[in-house]
């Protein structure tokens, strides 16, 4: 048992993932409300046009009403320390989300009752499955008409390839929505449509008692009884161990906008969700309860504070306790560093922290020392793995639009690329810079941020490419031959690794066929 065991056991670090518009930002806000981190539910969205939640603080997000950066929010609840990582739902930022999933111990998936499971959610679930991350599902917007709950459960099982077990059950939906029966706590939660108040709860152990009709219509009561009977017949008893292994997902129903069903979700979550789990490093498995500090950087964000031109590196603490001003080893540089102003986050309000424990996420001011995937330790040489860059699918030449500002442009590009927003390739044939992204929106974000944060103007020029792939070979001659033959399609990434820019899937297949000695990789981790 480590000396920080108590602290670490009360940590719950999770990400909320969903398709855009399923209500993730609203749910995040309501969780913060229960954590006492904000005091009025409307505080976050003052009116529909200015859609700004405490977590969407970057200018472009405010204009678009979507979250593009992952932010971190922490609060205390029932003697647990809860760390939420809000992830961008927009699929152009999937890569940011994939990386965030490496820093959390569990996940809540938000699904819109009318739309069901959407493509983006499916891809994120694959990452959870790969990592065996436990998942809880929240079916949102029950105050609107949507799919039949049983059909929805089937769809979740089928699309997300995971077994489910409802822990609450809706009483009707849309206009007739009367609330949910909380199976987990055997309580009846009655719904009053109001965005400010939490609804009344009735202890209700036996739903077969005729008293049920005092609260809801006779036919609704009848339906609820037969639904619950069916659930108990069809779904296995809920078992925490199976959930922790990632084999079964508990499901809750509610309406985040109306603050309904959220507290039940949170109460169950802090009860069953995992505290920090062991992390696989290249050298060994690191247990969170070890006394020595270790952690890795899963995200770098430029200019969280527009008044300071600095970046912040987000560190997920994997073991032990982090202390301000202590000396820690930066493994890639193999040198000791100390940090005088580590911060913890409450959305945009940052505060300097003196200590943090495994499971927490802290921000370190960064003047170019960090890259995504870097490890910090108390002195041991450890390398945490599992933070790949994916091969981009959209490409543009980036050109300077203002010759007077070449320096600002280069600095801006360098910092934004370190942040992992997109990838930079330098064409070896003509020396031009190519930006590769996974989505169109990222080009707009880059252009916008270069202008507003670095005072640099860029313009995009089209380039027709199919995919970028990293190449390597044990046969030096074959590699040279390949680079000679494909000279105008060869580039290097910012680490100086060889990248082949294929202009069509046919050309790529031919290359793989014609050069058997060359290995083609579609993520940067190999």
pLDDT by residue, tens only, the chain of 526 residues: 567 888 889 899 898 888 777 777 788 878 877 776 554 444 444 333 333 444 544 554 555 444 444 477 888 888 898 888 877 655 555 566 777 788 889 999 999 888 888 877 887 787 788 778 899 999 998 888 888 899 999 999 998 888 899 998 888 888 888 888 888 887 777 776 655 555 555 566 666 777 777 777 888 888 888 888 888 888 888 888 989 988 899 999 988 888 788 888 898 999 899 988 888 888 888 888 888 999 998 887 765 555 555 678 889 999 999 998 899 999 888 889 988 888 876 544 667 888 889 888 888 888 778 888 888 998 888 887 755 566 778 899 999 998 898 999 998 998 888 777 788 999 998 899 999 987 777 788 888 888 888 889 999 999 989 889 899 999 999 999 999 999 889 999 888 889 999 989 899 999 999 999 999 987 766 4
Alpha-carbon span 317 to 200, nearest angstrom: 39
Alpha-carbon span 301 to 306, nearest angstrom: 12
Give residue limits of the domains in the chain: 5-272, 279-377, 394-521
For residue 304, the model assigns a pLDDT of 55
For residue 1, the model assigns a pLDDT of 55
Helix axes 262-272, 24-34, angle to 10 degrees: 70
Of 331, 330, 324, whose CA–CA distance to 362 is shortest? 324
Beta strands in 360-486 (DSSP E): 361-366, 375-377, 394-400, 423-427, 433-437, 458-462, 467-472
For residue 52, the model assigns a pLDDT of 42
For residue 51, the model assigns a pLDDT of 39
> Is 5-272's fold the same as 279-377's?
yes
First-to-final CA distance of the chain: 35
Number of H helices, E strands in the chain: 13, 31
How are beta strands 11-18 and 80-86 bridged, if at all? parallel
Which of the listed CATH numbers 3.40.50.300, 3.20.20.70, 3.30.70.3280, 3.90.550.10 matches domain 394-521? Answer: 3.30.70.3280
pTM (two decimals): 0.75
- What CATH number does the domain located at 279-377 have? 3.40.50.300
For residue 302, the model assigns a pLDDT of 64
Radius of gyration of the chain (CA): 25
Q: Could you tell me the two tokens for 356?
A: 């943090």
- What CATH number does the domain located at 5-272 have? 3.40.50.300
The DSSP line for 239-250 is: -HHHHHTTSEEE
Alpha-carbon dihedral of residues 85, 69, 526, 382, nearest 10 degrees? -50
């Amino acid at each position: 048992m480590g000396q920080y065991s108590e602290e670490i056991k009360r940590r719950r670090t999770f990400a909320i993932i969903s398709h855009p518009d399923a209500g993730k930002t609203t749910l995040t806000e309501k969780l913060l409300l229960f954590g006492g981190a904000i005091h009025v539910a409307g505080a976050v969205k003052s009116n529909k046009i200015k859609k700004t939640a405490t977590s969407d603080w970057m200018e472009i997000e405010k204009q678009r009403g979507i979250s593009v950066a992952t932010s971190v929010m922490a609060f205390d609840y029932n003697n647990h320390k809860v760390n939420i990582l809000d992830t961008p739902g927009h699929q152009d930022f999937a890569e940011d989300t994939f990386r965030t999933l490496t820093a959390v111990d569990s996940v809540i998936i938000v699904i819109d009752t009318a739309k069901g499971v959407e493509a983006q959610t499916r891809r994120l679930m694959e990452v959870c499955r790969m990592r065996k991350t436990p998942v809880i599902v929240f079916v949102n917007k029950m105050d609107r008409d949507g799919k039949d709950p049983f059909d929805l459960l089937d769809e979740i099982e089928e699309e997300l390839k995971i077994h489910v077990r409802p822990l609450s059950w809706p009483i009707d939906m849309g206009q007739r929505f009367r609330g949910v029966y909380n199976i987990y706590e055997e309580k009846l939660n009655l719904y009053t449509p109001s965005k400010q108040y939490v609804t009344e709860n009735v202890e209700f152990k036996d739903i077969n008692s005729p008293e049920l009709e005092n609260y809801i219509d006779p036919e609704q009561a009848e339906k609820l009884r037969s639904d619950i009977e069916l659930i108990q017949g069809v779904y296995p008893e809920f078992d925490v161990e199976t959930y922790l292994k990632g084999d079964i997902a508990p499901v809750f129903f509610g309406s985040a906008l109306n603050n309904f069903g959220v507290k039940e979700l949170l109460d169950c979550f802090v009860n069953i969700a995992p505290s920090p789990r062991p992390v696989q490093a290249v050298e060994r498995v690191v247990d969170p309860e070890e006394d020595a500090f270790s952690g890795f950087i899963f995200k770098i964000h430029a200019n969280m504070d527009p008044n300071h031109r600095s970046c912040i590196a987000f560190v997920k603490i994997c073991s032990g306790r982090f202390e301000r001003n202590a000396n820690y080893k930066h493994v890639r540089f193999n040198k000791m560093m100390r940090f005088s102003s580590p911060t913890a986050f409450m959305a945009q309000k940052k505060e300097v922290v003196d200590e943090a424990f495994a499971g927490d996420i802290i921000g370190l001011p960064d003047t170019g020392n960090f890259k995504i995937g870097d490890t910090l330790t108390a002195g041991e040489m450890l390398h945490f793995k599992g933070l790949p860059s994916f091969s981009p699918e959209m490409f543009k030449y980036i050109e300077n639009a203002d010759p007077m500002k070449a320096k600002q442009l280069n600095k801006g590009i360098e910092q934004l690329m370190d942040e992992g927003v997109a990838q930079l390739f330098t064409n070896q044939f003509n020396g031009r810079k190519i930006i590769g992204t996974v989505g169109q929106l990222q080009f707009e974000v880059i252009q916008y941020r270069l202008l507003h944060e670095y005072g640099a103007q860029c313009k995009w020029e089209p380039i027709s490419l199919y995919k970028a792939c990293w190449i390597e070979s044990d046969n030096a001659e074959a590699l040279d031959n390949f680079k000679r033959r494909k000279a105008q399609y060869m580039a290097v990434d910012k680490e100086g690794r060889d990248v082949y820019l294929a202009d069509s899937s046919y050309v790529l297949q031919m290359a793989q066929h014609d050069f058997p000695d060359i290995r083609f990789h579609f993520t940067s981790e190999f």
